[in-house]
Amino acid sequence: MHALHEHGNGHGHGNGHGNGHESSRGSRTRRAALPAVAAAVAAVSLALLLPAPPAHAFLPENHTAITRQALASWEGASLGQFADGRDGAIGANDKRPYFDLGFLHCDNADFLDTPGYPRSREQANDEIIACVRSSVVRFRSAVAAADGLVDADGKVIPGANDLSEPCAWDEDPGRAKCAVYEQLGRGWHQIEDFYSHSNWSDRADSGPVGIDNPPGLARTTVTDLFRIRTWAGLKGDDWIPTVRALVPRDLTTGCYPDLDSTGSQAPRSCPGRVRHDGVLAKDGENVARARVDDNFRHAFDLAVADITRQWDDFRAELRATYPDHRRGEQMICALTHDDPVHACP
Ligand SMILES: [Zn+2]
């Protein structure tokens, strides 16, 4: 069985705006960060007049399983909206145009410590930073969006929490519960992908190490690179030097023919580089790298552990940001219950 899947939502071109700001360089304020990402997405969407590439994410059913396992305490309809790897918030980055932005899947941070490798460690680090940044920006936006879930006294606002119609993952604030889900889902997808797409938790095959068999780091705990709540609590991009220093020299993700953070696209075959397809990705269980030393299971389990951490950290942030009238606690109740008006009095 091939580890490929379809992408449901056609193409995102033609949404009007041409030259968005560069998405990933320079400092910016919290307020400016989200529009900048949206502008970059709009700009990129125009550039993508390409045939559909193969998939590059944990398969939708694996995103679903990871997310459901991490958020097992949520009630069913809410969990269904959030955790569905195909149509839920966690899968929203796998729809175009987001699908084609490599940093939303932690792609293209490929590096092999060998003379003449076509990418530098610094370039690879830039892609890791862009990946982490996309999650930091979403975390801040999710905390802000949660303010709309409950009123000033901590009472659940019915309309803002109504899920009788499915959420649309369209960056429109709309219902607050959908908005929080969208921000969290778009910020966590790449964290799940990281464990599939990198060598963080896996091992190389026996035989010589090279671009077709990169080293594995065999880590057994979640990465400090995604201490998102900590990074989001710092001003602007002040977290970047710390994250840069945390990147292990032998960390690699895979080259994939989508857009990197500078807006350039690798050739389809990624000549001379550690590739995503057929080399490093463990999106499903039936690819070579996934079968080495239970690599798929290790990636899956750490993805669950990391989303568990992210949810814990997000809840802690809501409690800290909205202490009055237990508003933060009420927000958490609203996000996890299907009928919060009655379940969260
Ligand atoms: Zn992905």
Q: Has residue 11 been placed in a domain?
A: no
Candidate from 31-40, 90-99, 102-111, 290-299 with smallest mean pLDDT: 31-40
Q: Has residue 25 been placed in a domain?
A: no
Q: Has residue 19 been placed in a domain?
A: no
- How far does the centroid of ligand 1 lie from the alpha carbon of residue 341, in Å? 34
Q: Which amino acid type is present at position 156? A: V
At residue 277, the pLDDT reads 87
Candidate from 132-136, 209-213, 289-293 with smallest mean pLDDT: 289-293
CA 58 to chain CA centroid, nearest Å = 11
- Check residues 207 and 285 and name the one with the higher pLDDT: 207
At residue 9, the pLDDT reads 31
Using one digit for the tens of pLDDT, what is the confidence trace for 112-149? Answer: 999 999 999 999 999 999 999 999 999 999 999 999 99
Using one digit for the tens of pLDDT, what is the confidence trace for 17-45? Answer: 333 333 322 333 333 344 455 555 545 54
- How far does the centroid of ligand 1 lie from the alpha carbon of residue 248, in Å? 22
Please state the φ and ψ torsions of residue 19, each to the nearest 5 degrees.
Answer: -100, 85
- How far does the centroid of ligand 1 lie from the alpha carbon of residue 189, in Å? 6
At residue 39, the pLDDT reads 53
- How far does the centroid of ligand 1 lie from the alpha carbon of residue 191, in Å? 9
- How far does the centroid of ligand 1 lie from the alpha carbon of residue 8, in Å? 14
Q: Has residue 140 been placed in a domain?
A: yes
Cβ neighbourhood burial of 142 (10 Å; 0-12, 13-18, 19+): buried
- Check residues 192 and 5 and name the one with the higher pLDDT: 192
- How far does the centroid of ligand 1 lie from the alpha carbon of residue 239, in Å? 24
- How far does the centroid of ligand 1 lie from the alpha carbon of residue 93, in Å? 6
- How far does the centroid of ligand 1 lie from the alpha carbon of residue 159, in Å? 31
Q: Which residues of 17-41 are buried (b: 16+ CB within 10 A; e: fewer)?
A: eeebeebbeeeeeeeebbebbebbb
- For residue 25, give every residue at least 6 positions away whose Cβ sits within 8 Å of its Cβ, in sequence order, or none: none
Domain count, the chain: 1
Q: Has residue 49 been placed in a domain?
A: yes
Asked whether residue 283 carries a pLDDT value surpassing 90, the answer given is: no
Q: Has residue 88 been placed in a domain?
A: yes
C-beta separation of 287 from 62 below 8 A: no
Q: Average pLDDT, whole number, for the chain? A: 86
Q: Has residue 295 been placed in a domain?
A: yes
Q: Has residue 106 been placed in a domain?
A: yes
Q: Which domain holds residue 167?
A: 30-343
Please state the φ and ψ torsions of residue 87, each to the nearest 5 degrees.
Answer: -115, -5
- How far does the centroid of ligand 1 lie from the alpha carbon of residue 283, in Å? 9
Count Cα neighbours of 203 within 13 Å in the Cβ-side half-sphere.
12
Using one digit for the tens of pLDDT, what is the confidence trace for 151-186? Answer: 999 999 999 999 999 999 999 989 999 999 999 999
248 preceded by a cis bond (ω within 30 of 0): no
- How far does the centroid of ligand 1 lie from the alpha carbon of residue 102, in Å? 8
- How far does the centroid of ligand 1 lie from the alpha carbon of residue 332, in Å? 26
- How far does the centroid of ligand 1 lie from the alpha carbon of residue 105, in Å? 4
Give the environment of ion ligand 1: residues with CB less than 5 A. 57, 105, 193
Cα–Cα distance between 131 and 188 in angstroms, integer? 10
- How far does the centroid of ligand 1 lie from the alpha carbon of residue 54, in Å? 12
Three-state secondary structure string covering the chain: CCCCCCCCCCCCCCCCCCCCCCCCCCCCCHHHHHHHHHHHHHHHHHHCCCCCCCCCCCCHHHHHHHHHHHCCCCCHHHHHHHHCCCCCHHHHHHCCCHHHEHHHHCCCCCCCCCCCCCCCHHHHHHHHHHHHHHHHHHHHHHHHHHCCCECCCCCECCHHHCCCCCCCCCCCCCCHHHHHHHHHHHHHHHHHHHHHHECCCCCCCCCCCECCECCCCCCCCCCHHHCHHHHHCCCCCCCHHHHHHHCCCCCCECECCCECCCCCECCCCCCCCCEHHHHHCCCCCCCHHHHHHHHHHHHHHHHHHHHHHHHHHHHHHHHHHCCHHHHHHHHHHHHHCCCHHHHCC
Cα–Cα distance between 237 and 137 in angstroms, integer? 10
Q: What is the dihedral of CA 43, 48, 52, 53, to 10 degrees?
A: -80
- How far does the centroid of ligand 1 lie from the alpha carbon of residue 275, in Å? 15
Cα–Cα distance between 33 and 142 in angstroms, integer? 13
Choose among 152, 153, 133, 135: nearest CA to 143. 135
